[in-house]
Amino acid sequence: MAAACARADEVRVLAAGAAKHALEEIAPAFERASGHTLRASYDTVGAQRDRVLKADAGSAADVVILSEAALQQLRGAQRLQPEAEVGIGRVLVSLAAPANQPAPAIADAEQLRAALLAASSIAYADPARGATAGTHFAKVLDALGIREQVAAKVTVLPFGGDVVTALSQGRYALGVSQSSEIMPAKGVRFVGALPAPYAQATAYGAALASDSAAGRALLAFLAQPPSQAAWRESGFVSP
């Protein structure tokens, strides 16, 4: 109760879409325990990183939840407070389908290739906007040698969350996003993580971007076991 009696502030969070489901589960408990209000906005890793880089230090957000690669860039640009970070876990670039559609086999590279060629339509998030899963999947299409073959049936959407929403509406046969965006979503079937050698796990963390007591309170809350459990339940695996 001591935390709830302290000054109540707003905690501004810039987060990648991969963190959305878990953070929405965590936020009410944090607000009850601390008395602070959490205001989060979600976008691709690249878009959120750039917002922090373009703003004065600490002005864009109190806490950022991004990939470790993006956090490293922000550290280098002196946009993060020192020694104020919490590891969240890793997410896997994964394939999804509408819940009412059968899941294709993707246990190996040949099955993945066959599934993508057989799909009537495919959606993924825009690499040009810094979408981690979309950037990786574009490279996978090249590595499989099928980019031109699937070009006419591929749609690039702004954000990983848009891909999952579109799948839940039955607008595409297959979609690619992070495991943590797919697994908690309703109306969507988790087909599986991309198989070797195309598997990709991305580490995520939360870091303090402003010297804010409320931001530090959120970081401390994210490190607690109930918060860590929420990350696991939404599709993150242990760091």
Tell me the domain boundaries of the chain: 2-90+203-233, 91-193
Q: How much is the pLDDT for 63?
A: 98
In whole angstroms, what is the distance from residue 66 CA to residue 44 CA?
9
Cβ atoms of residues 75 and 212 within 8 Å: no
Please report the pLDDT score of residue 3 as a whole number. Answer: 39
Position 1 scores a pLDDT of: 34
Q: Tell me whether the CATH fold assigned to 2-90+203-233 matches the one assigned to 91-193.
A: yes
pLDDT at 2: 37
Can you give the pLDDT at residue 4?
A: 41
Displacement of CA 47 from its chain's centroid (Å): 12
Q: Are 81 and 216 in contact (CB under 8 A)?
A: no
Going by C-beta distance under 8 Å and a sequence separation of 6 or more, which residues neighbour residue 30?
Answer: 36, 38, 217, 218, 221, 227
Predicted pLDDT of residue 238: 84
Which two three-digit tokens encode residue 99?
């819940």
Q: CB–CB of 238/127 below 8 Å?
A: no
205 - beta bridge partners? 66, 87
Tokens representing 98 are: 């509408």
pLDDT at 7: 60
Q: What is the pLDDT of residue 220?
A: 97
The tokens describing 129, both together, are 């906007």
Digits of tens for pLDDT over the chain (239 positions)?
Answer: 333 434 679 999 999 999 999 999 999 999 999 999 999 999 999 999 999 999 887 788 999 999 999 999 999 999 999 999 999 999 999 999 999 999 999 999 999 999 999 999 999 999 999 899 999 999 999 999 999 999 999 999 999 999 999 999 999 999 999 999 999 999 999 999 999 999 999 999 999 999 999 999 999 999 999 999 999 999 999 87
pLDDT for residue 59: 84
State the pLDDT at residue 5. 39
What is this structure's pTM? 0.87
Closest of 34, 59, 29, 22 to residue 214, by C-alpha: 34
2-90+203-233 belongs to which CATH class?
A: alpha beta
What pLDDT shows up at residue 56? Answer: 82
The fold of 91-193 is: D-Maltodextrin-Binding Protein; domain 2 (3.40.190)
Please classify residue 54 by burial: count the beta carbons closer than 10 Å to its beta carbon, then call 0-12 exposed, 13-18 middle and 19+ buried: exposed
Question: b/e for 74-107, b at 16 or more Cβ within 10 A?
Answer: beeeebbbeebbbbbbbbbbbbbbbeebeebebe
Q: CB-based contacts of 102: which residues, under 8 Å, 6+ apart?
A: none
